[in-house]
């Protein structure tokens, strides 16, 4: 369960690709290949791999972001648009509660940005909401001016970037003062028992499901390994703070299998 990636910070950098360290430019090519392969089965695989629980995590994350009428919301690594659809509907409901729902000047603008065109095309085919727009773009070089968005989110995608710190700095750059940052990502289970059970499921079942449904075991093996290489909750919180965010909080989901990190551009 993951969305796409970004280009590397510099040609001399290395980055993790699963359990391997590769040149950062090579990681971009390799991860793009993963998502080219999984795009058509992406949403079905998410349901199978998590028994549908990812939908509850996404609902909780969207509620935490609290989309509002008239806001510009950037959903990076937005893939097939799961989060953007939630944001659009929530902002529209808030608009209806506040007054005239026909006041289009108060419509939210939800930008789905993903590095992988195949994922964007799969999302367009799935259908969107009136507030949504689709764009192929780079989380490490966002095609937006400084201080131009009210909220930034990235869900199950930041572990695939070649340089997480650069992506976080870009998030800080495009947010307006007082803007909200939200990241939903797989994390570190908080107890040994949960970690052992989750490892058994992810390393054995998920690649097998990938082979069965998508005929692609290797891509899902990478996705499992990438989760293990991602920083734990405390380390990632510190990285967000180092990028210039304040009041950063961590909310564990399912005993730390996933976590919501939330912060403010203040």
Does the residue 8 lie in any domain?
no
Does the residue 7 lie in any domain?
no
Does the residue 93 lie in any domain?
yes
The per-residue pLDDT for range 192-230, each reduced to its tens digit, is 999 999 888 888 888 887 787 767 777 778 778 888 889
The more confidently predicted of residues 248 and 34 is 248
Domain of 253?
A: 14-265
The per-residue pLDDT for range 117-164, each reduced to its tens digit, is 888 998 999 999 999 999 999 999 999 999 999 999 999 999 889 899
Q: Determine the pLDDT at residue 209.
A: 77
Binding site listing: 80, 114, 138-139, 155
The per-residue pLDDT for range 33-71, each reduced to its tens digit, is 555 555 566 666 667 667 788 999 999 999 999 999 999
The span from the CA of 202 to the CA of 221, in Å, is 9
DSSP letter at 77 equals T
State the CATH number of the domain containing residue 71. 3.40.50.150
User: How many separate domains does the chain show?
Assistant: 1
Does the residue 6 lie in any domain?
no
The per-residue pLDDT for range 220-240, each reduced to its tens digit, is 787 788 888 899 999 999 999
The span from the CA of 135 to the CA of 257, in Å, is 30
Binding site listing for S-adenosyl-L-methionine: 80, 114, 138-139, 155
Does the residue 9 lie in any domain?
no
Does the residue 4 lie in any domain?
no
């Amino acid at each position: 369960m993951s969305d796409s990636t970004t280009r590397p910070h510099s040609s001399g950098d290395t980055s993790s690709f699963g359990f391997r360290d590769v040149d950062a430019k090579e990681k971009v090519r390799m991860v793009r290949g993963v998502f080219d392969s999984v795009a058509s089965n992406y949403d079905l695989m998410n349901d199978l791999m998590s028994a549908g629980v990812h939908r509850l995590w996404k609902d909780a994350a969207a509620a935490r972001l609290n989309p509002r009428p008239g806001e510009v919301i950037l959903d990076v690594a937005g893939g097939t648009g799961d989060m953007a659809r939630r944001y659009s509907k929530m902002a529209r409901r808030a608009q209806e509660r506040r007054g005239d729902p026909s006041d289009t000047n108060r419509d939210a603008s939800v930008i789905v940005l993903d590095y992988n065109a195949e994922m964007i095309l799969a999302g367009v085919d799935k259908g969107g909401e009136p507030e949504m727009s689709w764009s192929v773009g780079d989380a490490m070089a966002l095609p937006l001016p400084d201080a131009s968005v009210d909220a930034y989110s990235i869900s199950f995608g930041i572990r695939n970037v070649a340089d997480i710190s650069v992506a976080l700095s870009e998030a800080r750059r495009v947010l307006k003062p007082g803007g909200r940052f939200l990241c939903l990502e797989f994390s570190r289970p908080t107890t040994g028992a949960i970690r052992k059970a989750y490892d058994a499921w992810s390393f054995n079942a998920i690649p097998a499901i990938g082979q069965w449904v998508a005929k692609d075991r290797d891509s899902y093996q990478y996705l499992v390994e990438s989760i293990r290489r991602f920083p734990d909750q405390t380390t990632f919180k510190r990285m967000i703070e180092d990028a210039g965010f304040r009041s950063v909080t961590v909310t564990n989901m399912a005993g730390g299998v996933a976590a919501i990190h939330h912060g403010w551009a203040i």
